[in-house]
Amino acid sequence: MKAKKRVPYQYVLFDLDDTLYPRAAGLMNVISDRILQYMTHRVGIPADDASLKKRDYFQRYGTTLQGLMREYGIDPVDYLDYVHDVNPRDYFGASPPLDNMLAEIPLRKVIFTNADTAHSRRVLDTLRVQHHFELICDVQVRNYTSKPDLEAYHQLLNSLNVPAESCIMVDDRARNLFPAKDLGMTTILVDSDRQSLGIDYAVPTVFHVGKILRQLLHNSYLS
């Protein structure tokens, strides 16, 4: 029986927040607080209920945005503008090590995020790494379909016009990597010191991703 030929890697798909910069920077904590403020001040949800609803929406829909759109019919643009009205420069700066690592990766690079493009560009500009990424696949481009909804992954693959097997996905949340793995992508979990069941690799920081990618590319050339 003839062995199936391995599809060569073409793309690395990077999540944005808490992946390209450390969770300890605190930016996402502020965004999370602004989400609660939006729920109480703009939507009118009682403060005592907002945290529970936020957690419930995250579990059921992937993002609070999806839950608020479905149950309250909010304007997603207004929501994204409000929750991302934060300056990343208050939390981190340029990252020459990240810039160097990305420069050494001989694959095409894409941002795959549940945020919007405006926020993504501010983060990438602050890190000084925007020039490495040929595409930002944000939640608006996907008509507000969010990871880990499988449709978000299909939309991305259709826009790239490549098979899932040619992609390596890097994310700080295991639940966002499970659908990618099911589709055939190679998966790398960032900000973890433990291997998760169903994930290919786990690394403590994004800076460890380069070593994994070098191993993957070396092995693919040998196979």
- Enumerate the β-bridge partners of residue 136: 111
Token couple for 14: 């990077």
Instruction: State pLDDT tens for residues 55-97.
Output: 999 999 989 999 999 999 999 999 999 999 999 999 999 999 9
Q: Phi and psi of 168, rounded to 5°?
A: -115, 125
Tokens of 187: 């998966």
> Is the model's pLDDT at 18 over the cut of 60?
yes
Task: Using the predicted structure, report yes or no on whether residue 132 has a pLDDT greater than 90.
Answer: yes
State pLDDT tens for residues 99-111: 999 999 999 999 9
- 72, 77, 125, 203 from 64: Cα distances, Å: 11, 14, 26, 27
What stretch of H or E contains 138?
none
Dihedrals phi, psi of 8, to nearest 5 degrees: -70, 145
Mean pLDDT for 183-203 is: 87
pLDDT > 60? residue 5: no
> pLDDT-based confidence at 222, cuts 50/70/90?
low
Looking at residue 218, its pLDDT comes to 83
- Using an 8 Å Cβ cutoff, are 63 and 95 in contact? no
42-56 pLDDT, tens digit per residue, is 999 999 999 999 999
Ordered by where they begin, the domains of the chain are 11-22+92-222 (3.40.50.1000), 27-83 (1.10.150.450)
